[in-house]
Each structure stands twice: as structure tokens, then as C-alpha cells.
Amino acid sequence: MATFRKRGPYQWQAQVRKKGQPLQTKTFETRALAAQWAHTIEVEMDKGMFVSRAEAESTTLKELLERYLVEVTPLKKGAEPETNRLRAFMRHPLARRFVAGIRGIDMARFRDERLQKVSPSTVKRDLVLLGHVFEVARKEWGIHFHNPVRDIKLPADGRPRNRRLQDGEETRLLAACREARNHHLLPIVQLALETAMRQGELIRLRWEHIDLNRRTAHLPDTKNGEARTVPLSTIGIRVLRALHRSLHGQAFPGVTTEAIKRAYIRAVRRAGIEDLRFHNLRHEATTRLFEKGLNIMEVASITGHKDLRMLRRYTHLKAEDLAKKLG
């Protein structure tokens, strides 16, 4: 049964009582809105479909993000970059809203706003992460509300980047890395070009997994969840031999993804190189493996690609080089 009480000039409080159900109370500006809400609650209770929205109506998006950051993010391989992304979300005005009131149109505005600043693939990752925050809150934390990310169209993935190092760029890049305050940057960049390892894999390298005599580096924890052993080139061996061995067992002790990211961006800027991201070094290294004559299965065993179709874009060799082979 619903009751209504006027609490001020523009406040009407509705209460719904039903045996076996928790008391539901909410305040509206008009009696008509209060009656509409009460009727909806009573119908849901009669049909056995009612779930309390009280927690969703008193929990902000920022509070969800903070809980997700503590309980979910630390369990992921990419915890550090995800932490930075979540903290950026917390500073957005949308984070101050109660989650029960966030609609698809709000997420669409967030999407369009982000598309003015970053690439579609970055925006897609943002929305996928927010969508997962909402889903965890709904399914595992018992906060009942609709996931607004489901109501919008995600940006399409951009075309794969095939950026390769041009003449002179590698020399300039390595010279800039030598000048970096972060002394780990140069060997990490050199190993990226020699091994095709991902940035996170390089940062997590440990000496107990490196065998300089057998010329291998074992990666027990990779992006796709499968361990692999990477062969080391002569240059790769030389780079590793020059590193100082820490007592903690890490090849690059104390290094974080964010620190290398920032140091790399500054080095690229000093080198006068445009549009060269760290991940492009993996593309360059993978393409060089094909240029050395390795077949697709051999390359996949080194790079860790599970889907061989993903390697097709790495085989875009320079047309002028192919012309020389044709004679």
C-alpha cells in the first residue's frame, strides 16, 4: 500500500509498504511523480520482480570505481595502467552522479567527448572498462541498476597501425634513450627491438628466468595467459649482460609501466620522431623476424600470438625490398 506525505512546498514523500518486502521511500517534487513511482514499485512487488534500488540511488560512480580499484584491478595483469585510467574516471564530473541516474545518453556524451581527445580504440577500452565496473557492481555486489554502457554503440576499432622505423630513426631513438634520466629505458627499448616482447613482459623479466648460456628468456606470465620462452639474439645477450643484477631478482628493479611510458615519450620527442609509440617497436621487431626468413609458426612461438591471423599485418614488407627480390 502506498502513502503520500507533503514535506514542504516542493517535496512529496511516497512510501510503499507490502508484507514480506522492505519499506520503500522516495521524495519527489510533485505528488504525480510520487504516485507514478509508487505504482511502479507496487506492480513489481505484486509480480515478484521487485529489487531494491536504494543502494544504487545512494552510491556514486566514484564510489564504485574506488571499490573496483581495491577489489578487482589488483588481480589483473595490467593493474598499473588500469589504475591510472580509473583515477582519471574519478575526476570526471560523471563520477559524482548516483549510478541509478546514469543513462545511456550520459555515456554517449562521455564517448563523444573522449573522441575529441583520444583515438577510437582508446575510447572503446574506456567504455569496456566502465561497462565491466557496472557489471561487477550489479552481479557481484548486489547493487541493482541498469548498465548504461549497454545502451550505446562502442567506437569501431581503428585500422591496425603498421608504423615502422624509417631511415635514421632507430639511431636517433637509441641516442635519445641514452640521454634519459631513467637508465632502464635504453636497454628496455633495445630488448623490445630484439625480442618483440611487450612492454609489460620486459618490465617483469626476472633473472631466474633468463639463461644467458642457452640464450633464452622465459616468460611465465604473458598477456594471453600462456607461458613462452623467447630466444635471445647476440645483441639481446649483450644488453642483458651489461645490466646490474639486483638482489630482488628483477632485471629492471623498481620500474613501472607509467615511468617507462613517460620516459619513452620524452625520448621520442628529443629524437624528433613523430607518431612512434612503444608498441610500434614490437611491430618492428616482429616484421624483422619475417625479414630474417622465419616462418609464421616460428614467429608466433617468439611473439606469443595465439591467432595466426593477427600476424598477417606484420608481414607488410616494404614494396621496394620485395621488388629487389623479384629482380
| Helix/strand/coil for 13 | strand
Fold match between domain 58-151 and domain 169-326: no
Among 59, 106, 68, smallest CA distance to 86 is for 68
Range 169-326 classified under CATH 1.10.760.10: no
**Model confidence band, residue 211 (pLDDT cutoffs 50, 70, 90):** very high
- CA dihedral 97→64→144→18, nearest 10 degrees, is -80
Tell me what percent of the chain is helix, strand and coil, each rounded to the nearest 5. 55, 10, 35
Position 50 scores a pLDDT of 59
Annotated catalytic residues are 198, 223, 279, 282, 305, 314
| Residue among 35, 29, 26, 27 nearest 2 (CA) | 35
Alpha helices in 149-215 (DSSP H): 169-178, 185-195, 199-203
CATH code reported for the domain at 58-151 = 1.10.150.130
Top pLDDT among 278 and 163 is at 278
Q: pLDDT tens digits, residue range 288-307? A: 998 888 888 888 888 888 77
Residue 195 CB neighbour total at 10 angstroms: 26
Q: Where do the structural domains in the chain lie, given as residue ranges?
A: 2-50, 58-151, 169-326
- The Cα–Cα gap between 136 and 145 comes to 11
pLDDT tens for each residue of 236-258? 999 999 998 876 789 999 888 88
Q: 210-211 and 11-16 as β-strands: parallel, antiparallel, unpaired? A: unpaired
pTM (2 decimals)? 0.66
As a whole number, mean pLDDT of residues 193-214 equals 92
What pLDDT is attached to residue 315?
61
DSSP code of 250?
B
- pLDDT at position 163, please? 82
